[in-house]
Amino acid sequence: MNINFSEAKCQCITEKQLFGICDDPPPPQKQAYIDDEDGSKWIAVVVNEDNQEVTFTAIDNCIEIRSKNGKMAKRCDGALTFDSTIAFVELKERDVKGNKWIKDADKQLRSTISYFEKSDQSENYKIKKAYIANSKKPRFRESQQERMNQFFMDTGYVLRIDRRIILD
C-alpha cells in the first residue's frame, strides 16, 4: 500500500522566519497546524532564518496510515519538508512521568518513518531528521546520545529532542 504523504488537505506552506507547530488538546481530536501569531500555543518553535519555502504536513488525525490488520497505525504529529530535507515532528505537551513521553514519541516517529520509507516519496529526500518537542517546563537537560545513535542505526534519521527546530 502506497500511502499518500502529500494530501492537500493536510498541508500548508510558509516562508516565515519564525513560526510554531501547535496541537490543541483534545477533544475533539484535531490535526497539528502551524501558527506565526500566538507563541503561547507553540509546542515546537521553528527557526527558518533564510525564509525558505517550507511545507508542513499534518500526519496524525489527517493522513491515514493503517497497519496490515486494518487498525490505525501509530503516527507522529507532522513533518516539515523543504529542498531535500524532511523532518518528522512529534509534539508532547502533557505531563507524563519520567521519560515515558520520549519513549512514546520515539515509537510514533519510528512507526511513521517505517511507512514513509516504504512510499515512493522517500526517494525525494536525502537529509532525514526527526524531532521530539516538548513545551513543558522545567526542561532539565540530559544526555540522549545512546537513544539518538540507536534511532539513527535503526531508521537512518537523525533524532533531536529539542523544542527548537532550526532549518538549515
Partner 1 sequence: MSKIKIKNFGPIKEGYLDNNGWMNIEKVTIFIGNQGSGKSTVAKVFSTLTWMEKAINRGDIDWTKLSHHIFKGFFKYQRTQNYFRDDTVIEYEGDSAIIKYNRKLDYPEVFFIKSSNFCLPKIIYNVPKIMYVPAERNFLSVVKNAYGIKNLPDTLYTFAEELRKGQLELSGKLLQLPISRLKYKYNNDNETSYIVGENFELDLLESSSGFQSFVPLYLVTKFLTDELQKGENVLREQLNVEQSVRRNKEIAEVMFNNKFNESEKSKKVSDIDSKYLNTCFINIVEEPEQNLFPTSQKQMLFSLLGFNNLSLANKLIITTHSPYLINYLTLAVKVDLLKGNVSAEKSKVKLQKIVPLTSTVSPNNYAIYQLDEEKGIIERLETYNNLPSDENKLNEMLGEGNELFAKLLEIQQGL
Cell for 104?
A: 512514546
Which of 75, 160 has the CB closer to partner 1? 160
Give the one residue of 87, 159, 165, 167 binding partner 1; rule: CB under 8 A.
159
149 binds partner 1 (CB under 8 A): yes
When asked if residue 95 is in the footprint of partner 1 (CB under 8 A), the reply is no
- What are the b/e assignments for 115-131, b being 16+ CB within 10 Å? bbeebeeeeebeebbbb
Find the shortest distance in angstroms from Cβ 149 to partner 1. Answer: 7
Q: 65, 115 in Cβ contact below 8 A?
A: yes
CA distance 60 to 73: 10
Strands of the chain, DSSP E: 11-14, 18-22, 33-35, 44-47, 54-58, 78-82, 85-92, 127-134, 158-161, 164-166
Out of 141, 150, 165, 167, the residue judged to bind partner 1 by CB under 8 A: 141
| Per-residue interface string for the shown chain with partner 1, residues 101-140, x marking contact by CB under 8 A | -------------------------xxx--------xxxx
Nearer to partner 1, 67 or 150 (CB): 150
Which positions lie near partner 1, rule CB under 8 A? 126-128, 137-145, 148-149, 152, 156, 158-162
